[in-house]
Amino acid sequence: MKVKHLLMGAMAAMAAALPAAAQRIPVGHLMDNSGATSDVGVPYGQGVADALQWVNRTRNGINGRQLDVSGFDYGYAAPRAVSQYQAWTGRQRVVAIQGWGTADTEALVRFVTRDRIPYISGSYAATLTDAAGRSGRQGVEAAPFNFFYGPSYSDALRAMLQWAAQDWRARGQQGRPKYVHMGANHPYPNSPKEAGETLARELGFDVLPAIQFALTPGDYTAQCLTLRNGGANYAYLGNTAGSNISVLRACQTAGVNVQFMGNVWGMDENAMKAAGTAANGVIFPVRTGAVWGQDVPGMRAVREISRISDAAGTAYRPVHYLAGICSAMLMVEAMETAGANGGQVAAERIREGFYARQNWVPRGFEGVCNPSSFAPDDHRGTLRVGIYRAVVNGNTSAGSVAELVQAGTIKVEPVTVVELERRRDWLGW
């Protein structure tokens, strides 16, 4: 009799647990914590992970349902990303994915379109913005389920080139400035290459042959000598910060006098510390309206989120961590819209949630997350590009990033904001 009661009790407990488990919302989170872009992948991925855990703890998930987040470090290997996607859509039936790199995101476009799963990437390749496939550009296919937070790589470069043209005139320089694209022969740094070179010519630049360097750190003295011998005035660094640091150091040693312009992953506070004065003056885009610690309303929520993985609250969070939070919160609010009024938090409804708001800033993140607006045929969430300058005015070898920022040794300094025109011919390019 006692055994019977125990069995019945166990079965009742299991039955009670099943609905709770079924109510959890499965989400995939693809990360690069160990591959070629892990220098920036780690803080971005941590921002995403912390934000989603914070939503579970403080907001009781999505309309009372907890997020069941499955994280996977794919080491920046596209085949592993595709394999993991198949696992997520097979066994777990995720309803949305926070993704990462360009090669893997582009490889998955047809999969997520077929399966109708919103994919919010850390890749800002312009090809992902042509939601309806109307650009007519060769190699660009419709990407109706792909989203990202911030300007595309191409639009960010266009904004920096417009700044560069004005900078050239403001400094009273004569003749045509020379521009060069630098980076690995890889989908990520190549993504904005043609768009940048085309606009550079339109703006009156002489465009020099591109200079290649690997995504990993190395000795890039030869590339710096090519840069110097070509007489470049403005150079775009298309790789992540890790290998860009090597270029900056080598070029400083070689006495190269050029204005470097980093892509959105090409510079941050950690890179400024690592590169030292070689990073001083580098121009780069920042996706958020504030950097760590600035006095804006949304920084309170950001600091709460940071304590998820830093209970002491002492860590300094670089620009990529904040961008990861904004990316995650866009997905969260699209989910909330999908589930409003008893609706189902299903993939297609989540996608529709991205179109429910214009000039969309996640609630509680005012001043941190810049406004986003998505349309069914145009996933350029913003054409606003905040341009910043890396300022390094002393020895960065002693002290943490937080201490160096506090002392004023390193600083992320705002330069200007460029509002690009929503040109139809720039969609998907």
115, part of any domain: no
Q: Which domain holds residue 259?
A: 153-290+383-426
249, part of any domain: yes
pLDDT of residue 22: 53
Please report, as a single letter, which amino acid is at residue 97. Answer: I
Q: What is the DSSP string of 110-172?
A: HHHHHHT--EE-S---GGGG-TTS-S--TT----TTEE-SS--HHHHHHHHHHHHHHHHHHTT
184, part of any domain: yes
335, 94 in Cβ contact below 8 A?
A: no
Q: What angle do CA 111, 116, 122 make, to 5 degrees?
A: 65
Domain count, the chain: 1
Residue predicted with more confidence, 374 or 20: 374
Please give the average per-residue pLDDT across 330-343, as a whole number. Answer: 95
CA–CA distance, 196 with 187 (Å, rounded to integer)? 15
Please report, as a single letter, which amino acid is at residue 181. Answer: H
Is a pLDDT exceeding 60 seen at residue 19? Answer: no
Select, from the ranges 19-33, 127-141, 212-226, the one with the highest average predicted confidence (pLDDT).
Answer: 212-226
Please give the average per-residue pLDDT across 248-258, as a whole number. Answer: 97
Percentage of residues of the chain with pLDDT beyond 90: 91
* pLDDT, tens digit, 9 for 90 and up, residues 372-428: 999 999 999 999 999 999 999 999 999 999 999 999 999 999 999 999 999 999 999
274, part of any domain: yes
275, part of any domain: yes
| Main-chain phi, psi angles of 71, to 5 degrees | -90, 145
158, part of any domain: yes
Give the helix/strand (H/E) hosting 259: strand 259-262
Residue 266: CATH number of its domain: 3.40.50.2300
User: Strands of 67-73's sheet, edge to edge?
Assistant: 67-73, 25-31, 96-98, 119-120, 146-147
Percentage of residues of the chain with pLDDT beyond 70: 95
What's the whole-model pTM score?
A: 0.94
CA–CA distance, 103 with 301 (Å, rounded to integer)? 32
pLDDT of residue 137: 84
Which residues sit opposite 417 in a β-bridge? Answer: 386
Give the helix/strand (H/E) hosting 387: strand 384-392
Is a pLDDT exceeding 60 seen at residue 11? Answer: no
404, part of any domain: yes
CA–CA distance, 118 with 348 (Å, rounded to integer)? 8
135, part of any domain: no
C-alpha dist (Å) from residue 368 to 7, 49, 323, 386: 53, 18, 9, 12
* pLDDT, tens digit, 9 for 90 and up, residues 162-198: 999 999 999 999 999 999 999 999 999 999 999 999 9
